[in-house]
């Protein structure tokens, strides 16, 4: 398996722009700056999955791996890219990316850890810096053309560009991992993998899975063009296992890997493929909770709400304390206007996992819809303290305060809401209205005056993108 591909066209181009000539010394600080710049480019483009449960899971696996071996000069960050392409790569500075498509073909958590361990080996060994320092000088015009293709790609799709143009450019620039690099990354990766408690055999096992895609996939993963042969790496890893006294490990430590796969599959696949996938799986095992959960989410995407809710109930019978199922069933009832049922299931989910953002926010909205404003206020205040990046928190706080005959706090939170939405005239109106309800020397009046002064001077942040809702949900405003 060649899952160590790096987006090299971005590396020399940005290096020449920001750090000097490609053959100059490439320092640790250069790596940090370059990795951060590339991460921010991906983030701003919307190429990264922002679902907390998925990111928390991948980061939990990644940090177990990073904790092994020698200390790195980099602070690692693990991200999932929205792409069905089968790929993973590392960039300078401790940034590791795994495509959602790669995760969906894995068999267990240890295989994910193996991929991350291999990429971590490349980063800790600073293979990127070595290749850049050894590369020959390339014209800026050539690099500019490559970067334009990598960033804007096919129809402006950055993800398609990431998995297509970038590796073609890398090949032409002769920037690729050597066999020595790959062997070192495998050797280090095996040490990290087993040191973290995972089964070392899953590293060559996953290479064997990937070998099928090398020979049979219609769109060959881009890293196949830039790495040594899969077969040689399998043999090398098998030899490590047989002769290196690799300790026994397990295939699951964090747990619930299939649930993460299910969420990614529903997110990434078209509804017809998703429906077929889960229905076929359930023919083999009708009681599989994850497949029932995936089928319910898919039916909801297709608009078959009643059928979706029935399948959620089937899954819940098999797993009564599953916070994901309870939450999403509650959300489904809320969207259907069945407020009492929504509160019943969302409250159960909240009691199991009070830190889940969507459970907290939807339960608060359901309380508002039911006229239980005090309960709603408690939840939205909790969400505010958690610094959840969602402007609708303040909209719902404003609505709840208004219903409780508290116009001052209602206007104030409407002001925050409109400020976050970058509707500055509306924000200023509500802040000025709020000011009339508080004593001049009160802390709230001081806060409001600061907001008004900031708006008048133009010192306000640009609105951030709304946090995505799992499984294609869209969060709207709560009912008054």
- The first and second tokens of residue 35, run together, are 């990795």
- Cβ atoms of 48 and 42 closer than 8 Å: yes
- Determine the Cα–Cα distance for residues 371 and 200; give it in Å rounded to an integer: 55
Task: Work out whether strand 95-99 and strand 77-81 pair parallel, antiparallel, or are unpaired.
Answer: parallel
pTM exceeds 0.85, yes or no: no
- Determine the Cα–Cα distance for residues 375 and 372; give it in Å rounded to an integer: 6
Place of tokens 């199991």: 352
Q: Give me the pLDDT at residue 299, please.
A: 97
Burial 82-96 (b: 16+ CB within 10 A, else e): bbbbbbbbbbbbbbb
Q: Give me the pLDDT at residue 225, please.
A: 46
- Determine the Cα–Cα distance for residues 80 and 5; give it in Å rounded to an integer: 15
- Determine the Cα–Cα distance for residues 73 and 61; give it in Å rounded to an integer: 19
- The first and second tokens of residue 70, run together, are 């020698």
Q: Give me the pLDDT at residue 196, please.
A: 96
Q: Give me the pLDDT at residue 229, please.
A: 64
pLDDT tens string 35-46 = 888 888 888 888
Q: Give me the pLDDT at residue 41, please.
A: 84
Domain ranges for the chain: 10-243
Q: Give me the pLDDT at residue 30, please.
A: 80
Low-confidence ranges of the chain (pLDDT < 70): 1-26, 131-177, 214-229, 245, 459-480
Q: How far is CA 115 from the centre of its chain?
A: 17
Q: Give me the pLDDT at residue 132, please.
A: 65
């Amino acid at each position: 398996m060649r899952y160590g591909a790096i987006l090299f066209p971005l590396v020399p181009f940005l290096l020449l722009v920001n750090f000097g000539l490609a053959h100059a010394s490439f320092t640790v600080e250069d790596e940090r700056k370059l990795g951060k710049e590339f991460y921010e480019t991906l983030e701003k483009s919307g190429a990264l999955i922002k679902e907390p449960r998925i990111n928390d899971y991948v980061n939990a696996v990644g940090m177990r791996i990073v904790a092994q071996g020698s200390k790195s000069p980099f602070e690692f960050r693990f991200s999932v890219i929205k792409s069905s392409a089968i790929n993973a790569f590392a960039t300078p500075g401790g940034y590791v990316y795994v495509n959602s498509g790669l995760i969906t073909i894995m068999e267990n958590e240890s295989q994910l850890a193996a991929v991350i361990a291999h990429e971590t080996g490349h980063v800790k060994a600073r293979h990127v810096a070595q290749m850049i320092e050894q590369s020959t000088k390339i014209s800026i015009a050539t690099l500019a053309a490559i970067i334009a293709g990598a960033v804007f790609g096919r129809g402006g799709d950055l993800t398609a560009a990431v998995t297509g143009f970038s590796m073609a450019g890398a090949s032409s620039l002769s920037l690729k991992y050597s066999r020595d690099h790959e062997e070192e990354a495998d050797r280090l990766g095996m040490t990290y993998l087993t040191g973290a408690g995972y089964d070392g055999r899953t590293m060559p096992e996953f290479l064997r899975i990937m070998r099928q895609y090398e020979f049979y996939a219609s769109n060959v993963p881009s890293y196949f063009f830039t790495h040594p042969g899969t077969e040689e790496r399998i043999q090398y890893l098998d030899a490590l296992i047989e002769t290196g006294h690799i300790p026994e490990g397990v295939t699951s430590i964090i747990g619930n890997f299939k649930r993460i796969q299910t969420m990614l599959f529903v997110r990434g696949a078209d509804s017809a493929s998703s429906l077929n996938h889960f229905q076929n799986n359930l023919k083999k095992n009708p009681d599989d909770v994850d497949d029932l959960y995936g089928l319910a989410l898919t039916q909801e995407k297709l608009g078959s709400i009643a059928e979706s809710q029935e399948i959620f109930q089937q899954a819940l019978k098999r797993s009564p304390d599953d916070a994901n199922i309870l939450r999403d069933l509650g959300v489904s009832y809320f969207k259907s206007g069945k407020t009492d049922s929504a509160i019943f299931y969302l409250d159960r989910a909240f009691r199991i996992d009070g830190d889940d953002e969507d459970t907290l926010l939807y339960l608060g909205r359901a309380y508002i819809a039911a006229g239980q404003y005090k309960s709603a206020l408690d939840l939205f205040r909790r969400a505010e303290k958690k610094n959840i990046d969602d402007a609708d928190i303040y909209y719902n706080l404003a609505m709840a305060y208004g219903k409780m005959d508290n116009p001052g706090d209602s206007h104030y939170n409407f002001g925050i809401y409109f400020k976050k939405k970058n509707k500055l005239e509306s924000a200023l109106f509500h802040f000025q209205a709020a000011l009339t309800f508080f004593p001049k020397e009160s802390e709230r009046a001081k806060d409001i005056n600061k907001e008004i002064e900031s708006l008048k001077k133009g010192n306000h942040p640009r609105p951030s993108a709304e946090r995505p809702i799992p499984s294609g949900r869209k969060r709207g405003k709560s009912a008054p």
